[in-house]
A and B are shown apart, each in its own frame.
Chain A
Amino acid sequence: MPEVARAEYLEELANLEASALGGLDLVNTALTRTLEAVEHQDVELAQLVVADDDRIDGRYLEVHQALITLLATQSPVATDLRLISSLLHVLKNIERMGDQCVNVCKVIPISGNEPPADEEMVRLILSMGRNTKTLIVQAKRAFEERDVEMAQDLVRQDDVVDNLNRDCFRLAIELGDDADKREWAMTMLLAARAIERIGDNAVDIGEQVAFVVTGLFREFEDASHPER
């Protein structure tokens, strides 16, 4: 009898976890490029991010299929079952995060090749992006280390991103009556909103960490009833 029963299955499950969480590295790269494209109005780089999103989608489909096969063939229960269930969630989160990068990159050509209409707005968006990149790295690490405390800390960091998003909104209102400027500000708000959603997805991944560890699923924060 081998040292550990079902060694191959356990190895496969560990590989699939690594592969799924590796999707967060792909998202991190996509977001880095997205922020650079925003900063420099780089339409070509933006197009690359859009094209490259196929890799994130491909990872999603591939790992998803392999997890379904494990469910069908290995009858996982207990921690294994919770892990597989959470990976199916996390894959979807990662796929959405990639799509949000694409959303940002798609509005860059609309904002034109002119220099940014407002430096402060760009600064805020880049700051949002940097904070969100930290969220992505931390979500991955919290999952790998099954660290619920680290996962819960994502909420605090996400609040920073949310506040920056509100600052963007206020700034857009103050930008004045010039039609071109207003159009630019509008596209930047779409970008800010997309980045803010990436942060929310990182928090969702943190909730899955808590589920894998404790067996209880609950939202860290209830957006519909924030007072609770």
Chain B
Amino acid sequence: MLGAATKRSAPEESKGEMADSRGVTATSTEPVTAVAGQPAKTIEARDVNLFYGDFQAVEGVSMTIEPNKVTALIGSSGCGKTTFLRSLNRMHELTPGARVEGGITLDGEDVYAPGVDPVAVRRLIGMVFQQPNPFPTMSIYDNVAAGLNLNAKKVSKAQKDAAVERSLRGAHLWDEVKDRLDKPGAGLSGGQQQRLCIARAIAVEPEVLLMDEPCSALDPVATLAIEDLIGELKNRYTIVIVTHNMQQAARASDATAFFNIEGTGKPGHLVEVGPTQEIFTKPGKQETEDYVSGRFG
């Protein structure tokens, strides 16, 4: 249930305890992790409408985001894909005046239900941003441990060391930084910084990773390294990635969702979602075909 990662299949009726249990569970005992081979969680969006004040940014999105798969959200700027992404872990509501209508569930549990702590939701559904944003003055070690420190009541040094190493290994960064864990994260290259942010996100053992254009600030080599990493991470997590790079969506995702707007000021909507292979070889709708073929305007 939400906020209690130690009880992956806790019964429905204990939902009310979520707020109390947040943050404690991952660290009070050896954290139960999203283990490879064990299914991650499914996100279900039902008729999601998103607003910034009076302005409706996203209209009527319903889709299922499958576990252990990479789902790419594509569409031109302003079509609402990032807004939709941010609604999945309740980051949308951090913008003043923003509000959400409709339902979003994580393995059947409503992430917007009364009593659900948004912080607990964000711990289960992590986010990696477009610009690598490590805490600049913190060491590499502390960057990764940051989430653990926030969540933890008591974490032993040994547990923390293990979690940092596991996360850095999981982000393919360990070999590059193991001898300078006490150096600032800002001293890393752009690609390394992004992998550091991924390590930070997975350190708290989320179920889902949201990535908002994680490679758009990176060079091609670093981009391919992140794509390889994404391919590996899906064995443990459900991954949703927003990308403007259609080749990246084609290469790195299993499912692709295409968002579009009818015109400036209109809300974005989901045009089509399907297996990536189909979207890029024989999409169901002409609108999708025009977009993926670069035939807009």
- Asked if chains A and B come from one complex, the reply is yes
Q: Are B282 and A6 in contact (CB under 8 A)?
A: no
Bound Cα distance A1, B296 (Å): 10
What is the chain B residue whose CB lies nearest that of A216?
B282
Closest 3 CB pairs of A and B: A215-B282, A77-B280, A5-B297
Size category, A interface: 10 to 19
B281 partner, pick from A3, A5, A10, A215, beta carbons under 8 A: A215
Q: Is B222 an interface residue (CB 8 A)?
A: no
Contact with B along A75-98 (1 / 0, CB 8 A): 111111110000000000000000
Q: Are B297 and A77 in contact (CB under 8 A)?
A: no
Bound Cα distance A77, B295 (Å): 11
- Contacts A/B (CB < 8 Å), 26 sampled: A1-B297, A4-B295, A4-B297, A5-B294, A5-B295, A5-B296, A6-B293, A6-B294, A6-B295, A10-B295, A75-B246, A75-B247, A76-B293, A77-B280, A77-B292, A77-B293, A78-B280, A78-B281, A78-B282, A78-B292, A78-B293, A79-B293, A80-B293, A81-B281, A82-B282, A214-B282
What is the chain B residue whose CB lies nearest that of A75?
B247
What is the chain A residue whose CB lies nearest that of B296?
A5
**Of B246, B250, B280, B295, which is in contact with the most chain A CB atoms at under 10 Å from its CB?**
B295
Distance from A189 Cβ to chain B, minimum over Cβ atoms (Å): 43
Bound Cα distance A215, B283 (Å): 9
Contact with A along B250-268 (1 / 0, CB 8 A): 1000000000000000000
Q: Are B250 and A77 in contact (CB under 8 A)?
A: yes
Given contacts A2-B297, A5-B295, A77-B281, 5 further A-B contacts (CB under 8 A): A3-B297, A4-B295, A78-B281, A78-B283, A82-B281
Q: Interface residues of A: mostly helix, strand, loop or mixed?
A: loop
Contact with B along A200-228 (1 / 0, CB 8 A): 00000000000000110000000000000
Residues of A within 8 A of B66 (CB): none
Contact with B along A1-25 (1 / 0, CB 8 A): 1111110001000000000000000
Query: Which residues A27-43 have CB closer than 8 A to chain B?
Result: none
Residues of B within 8 A of A214 (CB): 282
Residues of A within 8 A of B288 (CB): 78
Query: Which residues B276-292 have CB closer than 8 A to chain A?
Result: 280-283, 288-289, 292
Query: Which residues A116-170 have CB closer than 8 A to chain B?
Result: none
**Of A5, A76, A79, which is in contact with the most chain B CB atoms at under 10 Å from its CB?**
A79
Residues of A within 8 A of B280 (CB): 77-78, 81
Bound Cα distance A70, B296 (Å): 19
Q: Are B296 and A77 in contact (CB under 8 A)?
A: no
Bound Cα distance A80, B291 (Å): 12
Bound Cα distance A62, B295 (Å): 26
Distance from B246 Cβ to chain A, minimum over Cβ atoms (Å): 7
Residues of B within 8 A of A79 (CB): 289, 293
Distance from B78 Cβ to chain A, minimum over Cβ atoms (Å): 15
**Of A5, A78, A82, which is in contact with the most chain B CB atoms at under 10 Å from its CB?**
A78
What is the chain B residue whose CB lies nearest that of A215?
B282
What is the chain A residue whose CB lies nearest that of B278?
A215
**Of B247, B293, B294, which is in contact with the most chain A CB atoms at under 10 Å from its CB?**
B293
Distance from B281 Cβ to chain A, minimum over Cβ atoms (Å): 6
Bound Cα distance A138, B230 (Å): 49
Bound Cα distance A136, B282 (Å): 28
Query: Which residues A41-96 have CB closer than 8 A to chain B?
Result: 75-82
Distance from A77 Cβ to chain B, minimum over Cβ atoms (Å): 4
Residues of A within 8 A of B283 (CB): 78
Distance from A86 Cβ to chain B, minimum over Cβ atoms (Å): 12
**Of B246, B281, B283, B296, which is in contact with the most chain A CB atoms at under 10 Å from its CB?**
B281
Bound Cα distance A76, B292 (Å): 9
